[in-house]
Amino acid sequence: MDVDLRHLRAFVAVARHGSFTRAAKAVHISQPTFTVQIRRLEISLGVRLVDRNTRSMQLTPIGRELAPILERILRDLDSALLNTRALSSRASGFVAIAALPTLSATVLPGIIAAFRHENPGIAIHLRDAVGIKVAGMVRTGEVDFGFGSLPVSEPDVEFTPLFNDRMSAIFPRHSPFGEKRSLSLKDLTASPLILMGRDSSVRAVVDRALATIGHLDPPAYEASYISTALGMVEAGLGITILPASVLRMDRGHGLMSRPIQSPKIDREVGLIQLRGRSLSPAAGAFLRALRERCAELFARRK
């Protein structure tokens, strides 16, 4: 079987972008050339990967199954090629991280910027995902390590705590809650609650806390994305419970937060790694930078 690497990259691009036009632009070739590359790959493999007509395209069942496998192989190949240049140093390399959305939007950007300033030859690939998926990506080798919470202990995954993420109530500035220095969970249950989806690590800790005060009613609204929850709060649909740090994501929502003191609600955040798996020099260097910065931030909060 004679398969050209360029053809594999073309297929991964079309699977990622969902369009021949956008995919061809992403790999910097003309659309007619791109179309030829996809067709040659299908001929080499002896299967149809993409169903297409003049208006739309979609992956075939085989194409959908093959796309994530090829993407992982190509990413590993790129990582190997980069790291080969500096196997004994961290002068260059590729690091893939999976992290919770709240951490990806607040804590990590500054850490990545500082690390890249000191190590311009190291490329960082950040994937934000809910807690369950972070551990899954670590286990399958899609990322070097994860940064988040591990709701359930897993024998093949190692969790190293870094800090506790304190949950706060977030509400509009005109809310009477703004007059208080802190709030109890019972204070909040009188208002419509806007909570994250059930696959979120934030939702898991909030549900456990609500159960301790006997509040088992479903929330008024559920949101898949933090920005959606903040927008719903701004619209006056209710209040939400999230890490206070998410207000750094506020884009003119005009929201406020107050800590929840009774009971305090914490989410344990740490590093998620596959047991027995060694990191590349580049990934090891970034992991150390992440640990050091989190230690500094946590010390300031005490």
In a shared domain, residues 276 and 132: yes
pLDDT tens column, 71-90:
989 988 887 776 665 555 55
- Looking at the fold, whether 149 and 69 belong to one and the same domain comes out as no
pLDDT band at 251; cut points 50, 70, 90: low
Residue 120 lies in a domain: yes
Same domain, 103 and 187: no
Residues 142 and 186 in one domain: no
Q: Is 138 inside any structural domain?
A: yes
Examine residue 85 and state whether it is found in any structural domain, yes or no: no
What lies within 8 Å, CB to CB, of 26 at 6+ separation is 13, 16, 17
> Tens digit of pLDDT for each residue in 96-128?
999 998 888 888 999 999 999 998 888 899 998
Q: What is the CATH number of the domain that holds 193?
A: 3.40.190.290
What's the whole-model pTM score?
Answer: 0.63
CA torsion sign for 230, 233, 237, 241 is positive
Query: Does residue 279 sit in the same domain as residue 156?
Result: yes
Round to the nearest angstrom and report the end-to-end CA distance of the chain.
61
Give which of 150, 151, 149, 101 is closest to 126, Cα–Cα: 101
Residue 223 lies in a domain: yes
Mean pLDDT, residues 158-184 taken together: 90
In the prediction, which pLDDT does 278 show?
Answer: 87
- Tell me which H or E stretch contains 266: strand 266-274
86 domain-assigned: no
Q: Which of 80, 113, 129 is the last residue of a domain?
A: 80
* Residue among 141, 147, 140 at smallest CA distance from 126: 147
Structural domain that includes position 229: 164-267
Give the number of domains in the chain. Answer: 3
**Averaged confidence pLDDT in the chain:** 87
pLDDT digits (tens, 9 = 90+) for 22-58: 899 988 899 899 999 999 999 999 999 999 876 778 9
Does one domain contain both 181 and 258? yes
> Beta strand pairing status for 157-172 and 122-128?
unpaired
d(CA 164, CA 166): 6
Same domain for 145 and 190: no
Q: Count CA atoms within 13 Å of residue 129 on its CB side.
A: 19
Same domain, 101 and 193: no
Do 261 and 171 belong to one domain?
yes
Tell me, what amino acid is at 15? A
Are both 13 and 74 inside the same structural domain? yes
